[in-house]
Amino acid sequence: MSKLKLKLDNEMAARLEKVAQAGGYTSIEEFVLHILERELEVLDPGQGDSEEDIRKKMEGLGYMD
């Protein structure tokens, strides 16, 4: 498994911790992983979408201009 480090400012970390605890997650990492898995399933569900298809989905969801 790859390891990825993210730097979060204190406000973002506090917000993530608050939401993770409220949602019953055991850690911020577990909550963030869950969010990422759900978003990836929307953007790239494994159906062979092209980069252009993924880009269009990202634009539709407000990730890109």
Q: List per-residue pLDDT tens for the chain, 65 residues long.
A: 788 899 999 999 999 999 999 999 999 999 999 999 999 998 888 878 889 989 999 999 898 87
Q: Which two tokens stand for residue 12?
A: 């973002």
pLDDT at 47: 76
pLDDT at 64: 87
pLDDT at 9: 97
pLDDT at 1: 79
What's the length of the chain? 65
User: What are the Cα distances from residue 4, in Å, to 1, 33, 43, 46, 56?
Assistant: 10, 11, 20, 22, 26
pLDDT at 28: 95
The answer to whether the Cα torsion of 19, 22, 25, 27 is positive or negative is positive
Rg (CA), the chain: 14
